[in-house]
Chains A and B, each alone.
Chain A
Amino acid sequence: MQPCGTFSSDYAQDMAIIRTRTQWVLAIAGLIVLFTLPLYCNDPILSRINSLAIMIVAVLGLMILTGYAGQINLGQAAFVCVGAYSSALMVTRLGLSFWVAMPLSGVSAGVVGLIFGLPSLRVKGFYLAMTTLAAQFIIPTLIAHVRTDITGGGNGLIVPPPYLGKEPLNTQTEMFFVIIPVVVILTFVAKSLVRGPIGRSFVAIRDNELAAESMGINVFRYKLLAFFICSFFAGISGSLWAHWLRLVHYDLLTIMESVWYLGMMIIGGMGSITGAIIGPIFVYGLDQVLTWVAHAAGDMFAGVPATLPAAIRLVVFGIIIILFLAFEPRGLNHRWEVFKAAYRLTPFSY
């Protein structure tokens, strides 16, 4: 729904992401606030923002594949792992610059994603979930056991920071200015993709595969494309993660991470790019707030075992997520849409 009095008079206007003057002002103000965060946030906060931003990239990819194209993926963390290792190897073994390695690692993860996407023509739903789950086992096993002289095997790989000229970008603030522009660009790319013919084909396949095919959509091609895009985003996320953390190890990206990516997407709201951003913010933010409460409780009650507040934190976290899904199963994005509609309709309630 557009604000009252906003009409499209041509196709370009209809497709524009930002349409009104207010939206432009808000977008520019938002970007200014975002890029000036290092002025008012210290390193611990920036570290959290960096970590969150990297997650958002992975969830954006998953949203395109699962939220828009309807292809379930339980192995997103494995594709992040491929991107992380690709980037680390390209930088450490081939001597490539991070700036070259990052997009290439997206491509390499995309190619691996294509392979695991091949069964999507034959299988759907839970069965497809199982094939993508296989990625979560096959990829770490290959890294752990094949050519460990290259992958580092059980020791993992130490990764250098990105360099700008001869200057290493190794502080949280410097990494912020590496990570956030990538996130902004990829969000814009994702939003543009899903609003165009590709996105509409994805949605058609998600809603009714047979009907989509009868309309002339090459279902197999678009499914593979969705897998490629999803894994490409995962690869970029992995590359950023590796150079931010400065270590890659297959044990650090487990099925739990894949499940969390799915959870963030569902909580954000399936089938919306905004959901892919606010979902991770909500889940990660909640986790961090509860962690802070647990630490504060631990500091306050010195005699209490340190594991007790940590365990309570997990229980409370689980309860909040259950309650959230029970009362708002359509995700945070739905709540956001309700808010926007209410704002735009005021003072009329219809």
Chain B
Amino acid sequence: MNLRKAKLSVALTVLVTVIAIVGVSCAKTEAPPTPAKWDKILIPVAANLSGPYGAQSQVVINGLTDCLGYVNEQGGVKGVPLEFVIRDTAGKPDNAMTLLTEFLAMKPRPALVSFLDSQDGVSLKQRFIEEKTINMMGIGSGPGLYPAGYTFAISTENGDLFGAFCEYIVEKEAPKKPKLGILTWDNVFGKVILEQRCLDYAKSKGVDIVSTQLFNVMDTTVADQLKKLKDSGAEWVYTNTLLIGPARINNDAITLGIQDKMKWGLVGTGISYNTMGLGKGMEGWIGPSPWASWDETNNQGIQVMRQQFEKNKREDFDKQNVYCGAFIAALLMKQTFEKVVDKYGWDGITGPNVLAVLEETKDFDAMGMTKISFSKEMRHGLFYKMYEMKQGKILPLTDWRQATHLK
């Protein structure tokens, strides 16, 4: 053994370890920034940026930051700018937990944070209650939101949107009883609409669910499932999937020659130009969406959003429904902080006060882009419009409607 070499390599190892420890210690003290009270209002945001959904999370982050630019141009919260502190959870719940402790150690302590993944919303739900800190999500899931605590979602819940879709097709097909086939992802997200509360509601509205088929996110074909749906007599097909999901169904339906023989529906958060781009001729697909469409160019909020989109030179991939949702979330945060300051003063920006203000939120419309009301029992939006994909555009079929909360 060469003793000098061995000692040198050990010294290097020790040095690297010391640097690593110092690095982590610095992380403790230097990041995230701790501004003086209140030269700016920090809102910590945690998302899965390095996992498989990173690109999708980036769209949400872009929507949030673009809206923040607009909000700060308009004077922020009574002259105080808002600022996001963006962190990566890498899709790991233990990272999310560590990030929450990091956020809570910030000075001044944030009253509102935003963990974008519904998985984190569920796993940290109890912590938000114990720490009296609001978590503002885009799309929340039932277990993350209820029983009502400190977590809020600006979207109408996907189960409720399925109920809204059922109501719409019953109305459209009346007096006939619509025969519906469900084709959705075999994961937590996709199977929300298969929960008993959703199936019972569909039945109570007169929808006959004739078949339920599942597929995996990575499956390259759904032809077998489509054949089964067709054989079961389904006239309508509904999918609670995003991006490639509806596009795959559409493309296989064209290959099988049944695309124009059946009617198609999807969850509103899945309605996007990307889906239309991936699917060939998705004409006629309909879905309930809690947020306005990019093509409602008369809508004031959409106009502002499009201006910010152009100004920040965003790419076509960002033209998604979730970008719009993120824009709405940032506007809601601004309004909420303003109301808290009005009611409780600058020293009153605390979790319980933000909670009280959010619970009083009635018909928040984000310049016409949505409609949200919260209450002591209600932690997510309930309003939606039905949209249709038509000639490369996403156009509204109805005005704002209120969905039933399927508890």
Does the CB pair A335–B3 fall under 8 Å?
Answer: no
Does the CB pair A289–B20 fall under 8 Å?
Answer: yes
- Mask: chain B, 9-30; 1 = CB below 8 Å from A; 0 = not: 1100100010011011111101
Cα of A51 to Cα of B93 in the assembled complex, Å: 10
Q: Known contacts A289-B20, A292-B26, A345-B3; is A51 also within 8 Å of B97 by CB?
A: yes
Does the CB pair B98–A48 fall under 8 Å?
Answer: yes
- Mask: chain B, 68-103; 1 = CB below 8 Å from A; 0 = not: 000000000000000001111010011101100110
Does the CB pair A45–B126 fall under 8 Å?
Answer: no
Residue of B nearest to A160 (CB): B126
Q: Known contacts A155-B143, A247-B122, A292-B23; is A314 also within 8 Å of B50 by CB?
A: yes
Does the CB pair A342–B3 fall under 8 Å?
Answer: yes
- B residues less than 8 Å from A155 (CB atoms): 122, 142-143, 188
- A residues less than 8 Å from B32 (CB atoms): 295, 299
Q: Known contacts A313-B50, A335-B10, A335-B13; is A291 also within 8 Å of B31 by CB?
A: no
A156's partner among B102, B104, B122 (CB-CB below 8 A) is B122
Q: Does B33 contact A (CB under 8 A)?
A: yes
Cα of A285 to Cα of B50 in the assembled complex, Å: 17
* Residue among A154, A339, A345, A349 with max Cβ neighbours from chain B (10 Å): A154
Q: Does A338 contact B (CB under 8 A)?
A: yes
Interface size on A, residues (CB 8 A): 52
- A residues less than 8 Å from B90 (CB atoms): 291, 310
Q: Does A107 contact B (CB under 8 A)?
A: no
A338's partner among B6, B125, B127 (CB-CB below 8 A) is B6
Residue of B nearest to A252 (CB): B93
CB distance from A302 to the nearest CB of B (A): 9
Does the CB pair B7–A342 fall under 8 Å?
Answer: yes
Q: Does A196 contact B (CB under 8 A)?
A: no
Cα of A42 to Cα of B31 in the assembled complex, Å: 13
Does the CB pair B130–A44 fall under 8 Å?
Answer: no
A299's partner among B17, B33, B101, B105 (CB-CB below 8 A) is B33
CB distance from A325 to the nearest CB of B (A): 15
Does the CB pair B1–A338 fall under 8 Å?
Answer: yes
Q: Does A266 contact B (CB under 8 A)?
A: no
Does the CB pair B191–A43 fall under 8 Å?
Answer: no
Q: Does A236 contact B (CB under 8 A)?
A: no
Q: Does A73 contact B (CB under 8 A)?
A: no
Cα of A332 to Cα of B191 in the assembled complex, Å: 45
Q: Does A311 contact B (CB under 8 A)?
A: yes
Does the CB pair A154–B191 fall under 8 Å?
Answer: yes
Cα of A288 to Cα of B21 in the assembled complex, Å: 10
Q: Does A123 contact B (CB under 8 A)?
A: no
Does the CB pair A42–B28 fall under 8 Å?
Answer: yes
Q: Does A305 contact B (CB under 8 A)?
A: yes
CB distance from B283 to the nearest CB of A (A): 33
CB distance from B62 to the nearest CB of A (A): 8
25 example contacts (A-B, Cβ-Cβ < 8 A) are as follows A42-B105, A44-B101, A48-B24, A155-B142, A245-B93, A249-B119, A251-B187, A251-B188, A285-B20, A285-B24, A288-B24, A289-B23, A292-B24, A292-B27, A294-B88, A295-B88, A306-B57, A306-B58, A307-B49, A310-B49, A310-B54, A311-B54, A335-B13, A342-B1, A345-B3
Known: A156-B143, A251-B187. 13 other contacts (CB 8 A): A42-B105, A154-B188, A155-B122, A245-B97, A247-B122, A247-B123, A249-B123, A252-B123, A307-B54, A338-B1, A339-B13, A342-B7, A342-B10
